[in-house]
Amino acid sequence: MVETKINKGYVVASIKESDRLNAAVAEKVKKELTEIITKNSSKIMINLSNIKFIDSTGIGVLISALKTARQNNISFILCGIQKDVMSLLTLMKLDKVFEICSDDSAL
């Protein structure tokens, strides 16, 4: 479900097989992101370019991943965020919590 690649010093994690980060896929994505974060001692970039919808469970997955990254002193960045998802993050003031890249060239 979560695919990774290395680009420009970042481990870039992309959510595949779904354009939604919701309760249906949250548990699997959370487990895979936690494994990726704890096994890598570098920078993690989450590519959300194909995610068109995110619900509260999906937001919880991202917050959990951020918390895990911070506990392991790993840089955690969200990239490729679509307009509707970004609007939700902004509405919830999570654009102040997450580091969000404006340059998607590392994807």
Would you say residue 106 has pLDDT above 70?
A: no
pLDDT range class, residue 105, cuts 50, 70, 90:
low
74 in any annotated domain: yes
Per the prediction, the chain carries an average pLDDT of 92
The domain containing residue 45 runs over which residues? 2-101
Residue 89's pLDDT band (cuts 50, 70, 90): very high
Q: Are the CB atoms for 66 and 34 separated by under 8 Å?
A: no
Whether the pLDDT of residue 102 is over 80: the answer is no
Q: Please classify residue 82 by burial: count the beta carbons closer than 10 Å to its beta carbon, then call 0-12 exposed, 13-18 middle and 19+ buried.
A: middle
What CA–CA distance (Å, rounded) separates 29 from 47?
Answer: 13
Is position 106 within any domain? Answer: no
In a domain, 88, yes or no: yes
Give the pLDDT band of residue 48 (cuts 50, 70, 90). very high
Q: Please report, rounded to a whole number, the percentage of residues in the chain having pLDDT higher than 90.
A: 84
In a domain, 95, yes or no: yes
CATH for 38: 3.30.750.24
Segment 1-38, tens digit of pLDDT? 999 999 888 899 999 989 999 999 999 999 999 999 99
Query: Would you say residue 107 lies in a domain?
Result: no
Residue 50 lies in a domain: yes
Residue 32 in any domain: the answer is: yes
Q: Is 44 domain-assigned?
A: yes
CA distance 2 to 107: 14
State the total domains in the chain.
Answer: 1
